[in-house]
């Protein structure tokens, strides 16, 4: 019989920033689902990859003085290492710079153009000249460019549009009459916030940057973001090249994405597929965010969110388990070190680790590791039914795409088994010479350990394997023998401690220290990069270039030291009608008191920067002598020679 096929995808990630626990979240969730279904006997195709084109990548590469290709190659090598570390079992890794993808996207673009669903027009919007970026009115922050904070101008650019509006009704019907998009809350969001407001045609090409897939029939343009990115789900299967995997696996069973890109997957992607006359994916699931101090990105201080650091210290099972279990699937959840450590202690140390340790130790102690299948006993029926029922429950949760609940149902069986030890007190059975009952209890516990370890394999991939070695069994690759009682006889061995108990207080202190060191290292690297850039790029500039820096007079209204940072002062500075926070490395030269009331010169149009968790908007101009940061450095603020109002321009 043909195996059931299952095609699951993660988003393809931008290789432009640092890989963090947030990326691991989606990937590990998909990996668990893929592994679970493979063990059920399905033929799974699990796809992940990277979304490598666009202006941001082009800029990052330029900043580092390398080609965009060299830049993405390095970042992709990094993420592949991360997935290997976390035991991610993808079947294919697609890069949007892969040749076959580039060719297929060009064909898709042309097919849509030939059909009349892509047409040439002009894009009107707010344009930031230095960033070379178009923004919509609603994307602006206080009317300025959201990236650099500078003024924007009204501008128009020739580009190709995809006729999204044409598919509005069909997409609405898809979302409102099927369970294409989950959870349900996301459907309401899509319909109310986007579709009911009317879908505009979508700009799908750009001509102001080069790092993209060229439009074959108009090479001034490159394909812009979403047609390139979303098409990965079919090009990875060989769409357009007669790829056998396309025939086998499309339509996808599940596109798992973070909630912020649901719009692209639940509105734009179906519309593109409708235009191409292709079958639609069966489901899009928009999961919540793992937040770091309320932020989607891992900028929080104090919390170590570097997956390498965490896995080195606690092992990959702990990271995978935490990600899958802590955040109720579909909702947002906040990462913090305390909950991370507590979760490991409670579930992995106390529950699973303990069950393995106690069961195997008793098996060895009472029968030298031998246990045989006993005759059925009424007293054990409820216990066996609970353990036996875990597979069906977990499987149902995976069908409903609820990884958290699937794990919970396995832990119900683990908890029940731990309780079974306490109820049956094997040590008393041993003392009273009740060998037959003792054998039955030990066998039942070994079976519970086997069944739950089998079920845990898709979620945590290391420690269950150690359990199988100690049980004297091969690591199962399917759920075929998941039923209780499938093993006739056991010959068990020893097991090492699977998860050492963690001292919460000590761990929190050490994690704080690690976070501090990481931050310091990062700051140093940023400083070095900035310094290097300055040295590398000193050359004569025109007066116009000079005036791109907007210097204004500011008045320091308040000032204080930044906690745990010897060099830093945080000033509240009034510049005309505006009040800003500015962090400066001048605490060695000025006390906060000395600064209050002083008029200073501020560089007002610097990109805001977070320093020690404080967003600093601008820089106080100083003159300095001696090596920067050295003991004999001298530094003094540049100040107006006579009194002048704050907000006055320096010209």
Identify residues 20-39 at the interface with ligand MSP (CB under 6 A). 22-23, 25-26
Q: Find the part of the chain contacting ligand MSP (CB under 6 A) among 61-69, 136-144, 225-233, 445-453.
A: 225-233
* Closer to ligand MSP by Cβ: residue 22 or 369: 22
Whole-angstrom Cα distance, residue 163 to residue 168? 10
Compute the 3-state secondary structure of the chain and give helix, strand, coil in percent, each to the nearest 5: 45, 20, 35
Q: Find the part of the chain contacting ligand MSP (CB under 6 A) among 8-16, 213-221, 556-564, 626-634.
A: 8-16
CB of 8 to ligand MSP, least distance (A): 13
Q: How many residues bind ligand MSP (CB under 6 A)?
A: 19
Can you tell me which of 6, 8, 12, 253 binds ligand MSP, judged by CB under 6 A? Answer: 12
Strand-pair category, 333-335 with 290-292 = parallel
Answer yes or no whether residue 289 interacts with ligand MSP by CB under 6 A: yes
Answer yes or no whether residue 230 interacts with ligand MSP by CB under 6 A: yes
Whole-angstrom Cα distance, residue 396 to residue 388? 14
* Closer to ligand MSP by Cβ: residue 23 or 40: 23
Answer yes or no whether residue 266 interacts with ligand MSP by CB under 6 A: no
Answer yes or no whether residue 14 interacts with ligand MSP by CB under 6 A: yes
From residue 356, give the alpha-carbon distance in Å to each of 363, 417, 466, 493: 11, 10, 10, 12
Can you tell me which of 6, 7, 8, 11 binds ligand MSP, judged by CB under 6 A? Answer: 11
Whole-angstrom Cα distance, residue 143 to residue 104? 39
On whether the CB atoms of residues 553 and 600 are closer than 8 A, the answer is yes
Q: Which residues contact 122 (CB under 8 A, 6 or more apart)?
A: 156, 157, 158, 159
Torsion angle, alpha carbons of 460, 461, 462, 467, to 10:
80
The DSSP result for 520-539, as a single string, is: HHHHHHHHHHHHHHHHHH--
* Closer to ligand MSP by Cβ: residue 194 or 484: 194
Answer yes or no whether residue 326 interacts with ligand MSP by CB under 6 A: no
CB of 274 to ligand MSP, least distance (A): 17
Identify residues 453-512 at the interface with ligand MSP (CB under 6 A). none
CB of 23 to ligand MSP, least distance (A): 5
Answer yes or no whether residue 601 interacts with ligand MSP by CB under 6 A: no
What is the x/- site pattern for ligand MSP, positions 35-74, by CB under 6 A? ----------------x-----------------------
Can you tell me which of 7, 13, 134, 352 binds ligand MSP, judged by CB under 6 A? Answer: 13
* Closer to ligand MSP by Cβ: residue 255 or 617: 255
* Closer to ligand MSP by Cβ: residue 52 or 380: 52
The DSSP result for 253-315, as a single string, is: SEEEEEGGGHHIIIIIHHHHHHHTT-PPPS-EEEE--EEETTBSSS--SS----HHHHHHHH-
Q: Find the part of the chain contacting ligand MSP (CB under 6 A) among 63-71, 78-86, 141-149, 226-234.
A: 226-234
CB of 26 to ligand MSP, least distance (A): 4
* Closer to ligand MSP by Cβ: residue 227 or 467: 227
From residue 504, give the alpha-carbon distance in Å to each of 312, 338, 343: 17, 7, 11
Residues in the chain: 651
Indicate the angle between helix axes 168-177 and 184-193, nearest 10 degrees.
150
On whether the CB atoms of residues 370 and 350 are closer than 8 A, the answer is no
Whole-angstrom Cα distance, residue 620 to residue 586? 10
CB of 47 to ligand MSP, least distance (A): 11
Q: Which residues contact 545 (CB under 8 A, 6 or more apart)?
A: none
Can you tell me which of 258, 281, 458, 464 binds ligand MSP, judged by CB under 6 A? Answer: 258
Edge to edge, the sheet with strand 284-287 lists: 92-95, 43-50, 5-13, 254-258, 284-287, 181-182
Question: Interface residues with ligand MSP (CB under 6 A)?
Answer: 11-14, 22-23, 25-26, 51, 229-230, 232, 257-258, 260-261, 289-290, 296
């Amino acid at each position: 019989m043909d195996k059931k096929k299952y095609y699951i995808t993660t988003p393809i990630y931008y290789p432009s920033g640092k890989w963090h626990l947030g990326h691991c979240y989606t990937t590990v969730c998909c990996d668990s689902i893929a592994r679970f279904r493979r063990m059920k006997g399905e033929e799974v195709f699990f796809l992940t990859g990277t979304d490598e084109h666009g202006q941001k990548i082009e800029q990052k590469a330029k900043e580092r003085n390398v080609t965009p290709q060299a830049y993405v190659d390095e970042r992709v090598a990094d993420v592949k290492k991360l997935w290997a570390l976390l035991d991610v079992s993808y079947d294919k890794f697609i890069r949007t710079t892969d040749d076959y993808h580039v060719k297929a996207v060009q064909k898709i673009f042309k097919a849509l153009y030939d059909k009349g669903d892509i047409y040439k027009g002009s894009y009107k919007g707010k344009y930031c000249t230095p960033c070379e970026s178009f923004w919509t009115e609603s994307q602006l922050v206080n009317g300025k460019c959201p990236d650099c904070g500078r003024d924007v101008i009204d501008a128009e650019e020739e580009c190709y549009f995809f006729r999204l509006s044409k598919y509005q009704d069909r997409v609405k019907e898809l979302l409102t009459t099927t369970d294409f998009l989950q959870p349900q809350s996301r459907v309401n969001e899509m319909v109310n916030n986007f579709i009911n407001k009317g879908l505009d045609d979508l700009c799908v090409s750009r001509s102001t940057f080069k790092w993209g897939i060229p439009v074959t029939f108009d090479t001034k343009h490159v394909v812009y973001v979403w047609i390139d990115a979303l098409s990965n789900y079919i090009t990875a299967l060989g769409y357009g090249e007669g790829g056998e995997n396309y025939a086998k696996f499309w339509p996808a069973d599940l596109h798992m994405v973070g909630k912020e890109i649901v719009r692209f997957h639940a509105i734009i992607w179906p519309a593109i597929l409708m235009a191409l006359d292709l079958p639609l994916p069966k489901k899009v699931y928009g999961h919540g965010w793992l937040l770091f101090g309320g932020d989607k990105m891992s900028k929080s201080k104090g919390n170590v969110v570097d997956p390498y650091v965490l896995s080195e210290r606690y092992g990959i099972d702990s990271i995978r388990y935490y990600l899958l279990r802590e955040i109720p699937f579909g909702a947002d959840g906040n990462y913090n070190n305390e909950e991370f450590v507590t979760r490991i202690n409670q579930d992995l140390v106390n529950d699973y680790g303990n069950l393995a340790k106690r069961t195997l130790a008793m098996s060895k102690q009472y029968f030298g590791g031998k246990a045989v299948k006993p005759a059925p006993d009424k007293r054990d029926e409820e216990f066996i039914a609970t353990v036996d029922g875990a597979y069906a429950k977990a499987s149902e949760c995976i069908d409903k795409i609820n990884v958290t609940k699937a794990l919970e149902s396995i832990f119900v069986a683990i908890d029940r088994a731990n309780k079974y030890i306490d109820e049956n007190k094997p040590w008393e059975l041993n003392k009273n010479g009740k060998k037959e009952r003792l054998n039955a209890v030990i066998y039942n516990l070994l079976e519970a350990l086997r069944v739950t370890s089998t079920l845990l394999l898709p979620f945590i991939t290391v420690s269950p394997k150690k359990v199988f070695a100690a049980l004297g069994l091969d690591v199962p690759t399917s759920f075929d023998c998941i039923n209780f009682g499938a093993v006739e006889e056991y010959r068990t061995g020893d097991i090492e401690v699977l998860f050492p108990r963690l001292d919460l207080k000590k761990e929190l202190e050490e994690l704080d220290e690690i976070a501090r060191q990481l931050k310091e290292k990062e700051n140093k690297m940023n400083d070095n990069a900035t310094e290097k850039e300055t040295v590398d790029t000193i050359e004569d500039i025109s007066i116009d270039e000079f005036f791109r820096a907007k210097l204004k007079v500011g008045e320091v209204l308040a000032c204080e030291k930044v906690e745990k940072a010897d060099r830093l002062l945080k000033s509240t500075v009034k510049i005309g009608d505006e009040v800003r926070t500015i962090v400066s490395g001048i605490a060695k030269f000025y006390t906060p008191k000395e600064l209050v009331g002083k008029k200073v010169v501020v560089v007002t149009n610097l990109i805001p920067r977070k320093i020690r968790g404080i967003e600093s908007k601008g820089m106080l101009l100083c003159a300095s002598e001696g090596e920067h940061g050295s003991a004999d450095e001298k530094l003094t603020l540049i100040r107006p020679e006579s009194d002048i109002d704050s907000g006055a321009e320096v010209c």
